[in-house]
Structure 1
Amino acid sequence: MVEIPVVDLRLAGAQPEESARLRDACERLGCFRVSGHGVPAALQAEMKAAVRALFDLPDEAKRRNADIIAGSGYVAPSPANPLYEAFGLLDAADPADVDAFCARLDAPPRARETVKSYAEAMHELIVDVAGKVAASLGLEGHPFEDWPCQFRINRYNYTEDTVGSSGVQIHTDSGFLTVLQEDDCVGGLEVLDPTTGEFVRVDPVPGSFLVNIGDVGTVASSIDLFHLEILGSIRFRPVR
Structure 2
Amino acid sequence: MMAGIPIIDLRLQASPEEAARLRDAARRLGCFRVTGHGVPRALQDDMKAAVRALFDLPDAAKRRNADVISGSGYVAPSETNPLYEAFGLYDAASPADVDAFCASLDAPPRIRETIRRYAEKTHGLIVDVAAKLAASLGLEPEDADRSFQDWPCQFRINRYNYTADSVGQTGVQVHTDSGFLTVLHEDDRVGGLEVADPDTGELAPVDPVPGTFLVNLGDVATAWSNGALHNVRHRVRCVAAAPRVSIALFLLAPKDDVVRAPDAFVTAERRRRYRTFGYDDYRRLRQSTGEHAGEALARLAA
In terms of mean alpha carbon deviation, does 101-110 or 161-170 score higher?
161-170
Q: Residue 106 of structure 1 aligns with which residue?
A: 106
Q: Residue 22 of structure 1 aligns with which residue?
A: 22
SS, match of residue 10 in structure 1:
helix
In terms of mean alpha carbon deviation, does 25-34 or 141-150 score higher?
141-150
Q: Which whole-Å deviations, capped at 9, do the CAs of 1:25-83 have from their partners, x for residues lacking one?
A: 11111100001111000000000000000000000000000001100100112233222
CA–CA distance in structure 2, aligned partners of residues 220 and 157 of structure 1:
36
SS, match of residue 191 in structure 1:
strand
Which of 159, 177, 182 does residue 181 from structure 2 map onto? Answer: 177
CA–CA distance in structure 1, aligned partners of residues 85 and 228 of structure 2:
31
TM-score normalised to structure 2 length: 0.75
Give 1:227 shift: 3.5
Q: Residue 239 of structure 1 aligns with which residue?
A: 239
Letter aligned with residue 203 of structure 1:
D
Q: Residue 198 of structure 2 aligns with which residue?
A: 194
Gaps spanning 5+ residues in structure 2: where? 241-302
Percent of residue pairs bearing the same amino acid type: 73
CA–CA distance in structure 2, aligned partners of residues 17 and 179 of structure 1:
23
Q: Which whole-Å deviations, capped at 9, do the CAs of 1:185-210 have from their partners, x for residues lacking one?
A: 11111000112211111111111000
Letter aligned with residue 85 of structure 2:
E
Aligned residue runs from structure 1 range 116-131, under 5 A: 116-131=116-131
Q: Residue 8 of structure 1 aligns with which residue?
A: 9
* Maintained 8 Å contact 1:85/1:156: yes
Give 1:228 shift: 2.3
Give 1:87 shift: 0.4
CA–CA distance in structure 1, aligned partners of residues 12 and 223 of structure 2:
23
Q: Residue 137 of structure 2 aligns with which residue?
A: 137
Moved over 4 A (4+): none
Question: Are 2:215 and 1:214 equivalent residues in the alignment?
Answer: no
SS, match of residue 170 in structure 1:
strand
Q: Cα 1:39–1:65, aligned 2, differ >3 Å: closer, same or farther?
A: same
* Maintained 8 Å contact 2:194/2:237: yes
* Maintained 8 Å contact 2:11/2:36: yes
CA–CA distance in structure 2, aligned partners of residues 78 and 231 of structure 1:
28
Letter aligned with residue 15 of structure 1:
S
CA–CA distance in structure 2, aligned partners of residues 229 and 77 of structure 1:
34
CA–CA distance in structure 1, aligned partners of residues 158 and 233 of structure 2:
17
Give 1:8 shift: 0.5
* Maintained 8 Å contact 2:30/2:229: no
Larger Rg: 2
Q: What is the root-mean-square deviation of aligned Cα atoms in Å?
A: 1.3
Higher helix share: 2
Q: Residue 87 of structure 1 aligns with which residue?
A: 87
Gaps spanning 5+ residues in structure 1: where? none
CA–CA distance in structure 2, aligned partners of residues 151 and 187 of structure 1:
20
Considering Cα pairs closer than 8 Å and 6+ residues apart, tell me whether 1 or 2 has the greater RCO: 1
